Amino acid sequence: MQQTFINYVKKMQNYSEALSVIYWDMRTGAPRKGLEQRAEVVGTLSAELFALQTSDELGKILSELQNEKLDFVTQRLYEEVKKEYDESKKIPAEEFKAYTILKAKSEAAWEDAKGKSDFQIFLPYLKEVIDYQKRFVQYWGIKNGSAYNTLLDKYEPNMTTDMLDELFGELKATIVPLVKAIGDSKNKPDTSLLFKHFPKSGQHAASLELLKQLGYDFEAGRLDETVHPFMIGLNSGDIRITTKYDEKDFRSAVFGTIHECGHALYEQNIDASLNGLPLSTGASMGIHESQSLFYENIIGRNESFWKHHYAILQKHSPEQFGNVPVDAFLKAINFSEPSLIRIEADELTYPLHIMIRYEIECEIFNGDLQAEDLPRVWNEKYEEYLGIRPQNDAEGVLQDMHWSDGSFGYFPSYALGFMYAAQWKHAMDQDIPNFDELCERGELAPIKDWLTDKVHQYGALKKPNELISEGTGEALSAKYLADYLENKYSQLYNL
C-alpha cells in the first residue's frame, strides 16, 4: 500500500509540475493570442488534479495507511497529503467550485479597482471572498480559539496570533523609535546615484554574474524577465527565477534577483530523495521568505558583500558607479524613510507594513471589522505606524492583490521570514565567525552550505518551529531582528 500511495502522490505531483511549466511559460513570453485556449488546458489539468486530490481512491489509500508503520519520509508525506485531502473534502464541492469562479472575478475586479483607484469597484467581491473564507474556517475548524489561527496555519504551520502579537510587539518597540530617530536625524544620504540610467543589457549581465557568485546552479535553473519577479520550483533540478529590469532604478533587478536567488537556493538544495514528491518544497512561506531575505538583506545589503561585489555593478554601469565610493553606495541602498507602498519599502520600515495588514486581518476574522471600513482603518494605521497617509486607495488599501484571491493569513510570513533570517544569522555567527571576511573575499559557499545543512536539505520534512529550534537552539524570537536593525541603523545614521 505504501508504494501505491507514493505512486499516487507522484502522479499528482506530475500534474502540478505540468501546470507549473505552463504557468512559467505564460508569465515569461507566451504569445498573447494563445492565452485564451491555454486557459482551457489549465482548466483540464487542474480539474484532473483536483479529482485526484479528492478521490475516494485516495481516501481509501489514506485510511489503510493509518494502520501501517511508515518510515519517516512516508509518514510526513502521509501527514501532508492527509491534511490537504481533509481540507478539500471538508468544503462542499459545489461551494468550492463557486469560490473558484468568484476568485477569478475578484482578482479582475481588484485589478480594475486599483487601476481606477476606486475601492468601491472591489468592495462587493471582497465582501464575498471574506464571507467564503469565514465559512471555510468553520468547515476546517477553529484553531486554539481563534479563527485567524486557522488561516495562519495554512501558510505557517503551528503559528498563532498569540505568538505573533508577542513577536510583532517586540519588533514594533524597536522599529518605531528607530524610524522616528532617523526622521529627526540631519544625516541624509545622497540617493541620486540610484536613479541614473543603467541599460537593461548591463543589468541582465550583472544579474547573471551575481547569481553565479551566490551559488545559483544554472544547470538546474534559468533567469528570465517578467513584470513581477518570482521563483518557481518545477522540480528539484529545475528551479527558475525571474527578475524585472527598470533602467531608472537598478535596485529592482539587483535586489529582486538576489531575493529570488535566496528562494531558489533553498529549493535547489533540498535532498534529492524528495524529488518528485510534494515534500520537495519549502517548510512554510515564512521559512521560504527567511532564505530570500537572508540573501537580499543580511547578505545583499551588507557592507562586506558589496566590498567585493560592487565591482560587478561598476563594470556594467561605469558612468553610474565608476566614481562613487562603495561607502556612498551602501548608504544610498540602505536609505530608510516611511513610505506608502509595501513592496518598495526599505528593510527597516517594511515590518510595519506587515503589522498593519496583520492587525486588519485579525480584526476581520477575530473581530467585527467590515470590508467597507477597510480604507479608513488602513489610512489611520498608516498614519499611526508610519506617520504618512495614503492620498488614494491605489496607494493605500488596494496596493496588494492578496485579499482579492483570499490569501488571508499570508502577510505575516513576510515579517516572520525576516525574523527567522536574523535568527539564522545569529546562529551562523557561532559556526562561521568570519562571515564578513568570507563575504569580502566573495567566498559565499560556506554560507550557503550552512543554510543547506540547517534548512534547505529538509524541504518540507520538518515544521518551521522544528527547523528554527533545531537549527538555532531556541524558538523563534524577535530579538535577533530587533538587534540587527538597531545596530545597523544606529551605525548608518550615527544615532
* Closest CB 308 distance from its own copies, rounded Å: 27
> 2 exposed, middle or buried (CB, 10 Å; 0-12, 13-18, 19+)?
middle
Q: What is the C-alpha separation between 412 and 289, in angstroms, rounded?
A: 11
Q: Is 289 marked as binding a ligand?
A: yes
* Closest CB 67 distance from its own copies, rounded Å: 29
* Closest CB 223 distance from its own copies, rounded Å: 11
Choose the catalytic residue: 128, 260, 296, 347. Answer: 260
Contact residues toward its own copies (CB under 8 A) are 10-11, 14-15, 17-18, 21-22, 24-25, 29-38, 40-41, 43-45, 48, 217-222, 234-238, 240, 275-276
> 368 exposed, middle or buried (CB, 10 Å; 0-12, 13-18, 19+)?
exposed
Please identify, using beta-carbon distances, which residue of 238 and 393 lies nearer to its own copies: 238
Place of cell 489610512: 379
Q: Where are the beta strands (DSSP E) in 181-256?
A: 223-225, 231-235, 238-243
Q: Is 259 marked as binding a ligand?
A: yes
Using DSSP's 3-state secondary structure scheme, residue 234 falls into strand
* Closest CB 203 distance from its own copies, rounded Å: 18
Half-sphere exposure of 183 (CA within 13 A, CB side): 14
Please identify, using beta-carbon distances, which residue of 241 and 298 lies nearer to its own copies: 241
* Closest CB 415 distance from its own copies, rounded Å: 32
Strand order in the sheet with 231-235: 223-225, 238-243, 231-235
Please identify, using beta-carbon distances, which residue of 45 and 369 lies nearer to its own copies: 45
CB 356 within 8 A of CB 385: yes
Place of cell 528551479: 239
CB 447 within 8 A of CB 299: yes
Active-site annotation holds for 260: yes
Please identify, using beta-carbon distances, which residue of 217 and 363 lies nearer to its own copies: 217
Place of cell 524529488: 275
Half-sphere exposure of 176 (CA within 13 A, CB side): 14
CB 9 within 8 A of CB 277: yes
The amino acid sitting at 367 is G
Please identify, using beta-carbon distances, which residue of 233 and 286 lies nearer to its own copies: 233
Q: Is 456 marked as binding a ligand?
A: no
Please identify, using beta-carbon distances, which residue of 240 and 316 lies nearer to its own copies: 240
Q: Which residues pair with 232 in a beta bridge?
A: 240
* Closest CB 39 distance from its own copies, rounded Å: 10
By annotation, the residues acting in catalysis are 260
Which residue ranges make up the annotated binding site for Zn(2+)? 259, 263, 289
Which residue ranges make up the annotated binding site? 259, 263, 289
